[in-house]
Amino acid sequence: MAKIGFRGAYLLSALITILGAPLFYANAAASNRSDSDAFEQQPGGQPGGSQVPQRNLPPDSTPTSSQGDTTSQMRDRLFIHEAQEGNMAEVKLGELAVQKSQNQDVRNFAQKMIDDHTQLMEKMKPLAEQAGVKQPDHLSKDGKSTYEKLNALSGDDFDHAYIKAMLDDHHKDLKKFQTQESLTSNADLKATVSEGEKVIAMHTSMIEKIADKYGVSKSK
């Protein structure tokens, strides 16, 4: 092997350094990409599968089967509570109409409300007890407001206001019962809601005919 002087050795070393630098950086970049890929492929974004909590979300925000069950139960309880309040309101308003109205159509419908909604309330009581829903012992805020407005009226004014209130209420209640029947996973509640839906649909048809007869329109 030919001997090279000090100057030649220096030049050779410099050449190796220059030519080797791109290879070094290329290998380093490849290594970094490999590490990054490994990081991203790990569950939770960290090597070894450790989890990183999502920002701005509570730790229990991810839906689970137990949380789904709880949501369903809460929806059922809310429906039962509102349905029982509605039943009580229909009975109380029906009693008021029987006392105040002289219109036979109104009186007949009001008595139907007393009878049917009392039965619905009784049928829902066992479901309310199972769900831990307390039976209402007074009218809701809206129910009380409607009762007081009607109680202040008499004659045709009362009849028209009562018909309108019943028309609005039954259209809203029918939608609530239809929605609850499609959503609930409680078989007993579904059966009771289905039965109640048929009753409310009948009431809706009855009050629509009475409203047409007396020229009363439901609220928009």
Give the C-alpha separation, 85 to 103, whole Å: 26
- In this structure, are residues 174 and 117 in contact, taking their beta carbons and an 8 Å threshold? no
pLDDT of residue 38: 37
Read off the tokens for 27. Answer: 């290998």
- The angle at the Cα of 164, spanning 181 to 113, to the nearest 5 degrees, equals 55
Half-sphere exposure of 60 (CA within 13 A, CB side): 4
pLDDT of residue 108: 98
pLDDT of residue 86: 97
| Architecture of the CATH domain 71-214 | Up-down Bundle (1.20)
Give the C-alpha separation, 8 to 110, whole Å: 115
pLDDT of residue 27: 46
> Could you give phi then psi for residue 98, rounded to 5 degrees?
-65, -35
Give the C-alpha separation, 94 to 108, whole Å: 9
Reading the chain (220 residues) residue by residue, the pLDDT tens digits are 444 454 444 444 544 444 444 444 444 444 444 444 433 344 444 444 434 344 343 333 333 334 555 899 999 999 999 999 999 999 999 999 999 999 999 999 999 999 999 999 999 999 999 999 999 999 999 999 999 999 999 999 999 999 999 999 999 999 999 999 999 999 999 999 999 999 999 999 999 999 999 999 988 7
Question: Three-class SS string for the chain?
Answer: CCCCCHHHHHHHHHHHHHHHHHHHHHHHHHHHHHHHHHHHHCHHHCHHHCCCCCCCCCCCCCCCHHHHHHHHHHHHHHHHHHHHHHHHHHHHHHHHHHHHCCCHHHHHHHHHHHHHHHHHHHHHHHHHHHHCCCCCCCCCHHHHHHHHHHHCCCHHHHHHHHHHHHHHHHHHHHHHHHHHHHHCCCHHHHHHHHHHHHHHHHHHHHHHHHHHHHCCCCCC
The letter for the amino acid at 187 is A
pTM score, whole prediction: 0.68
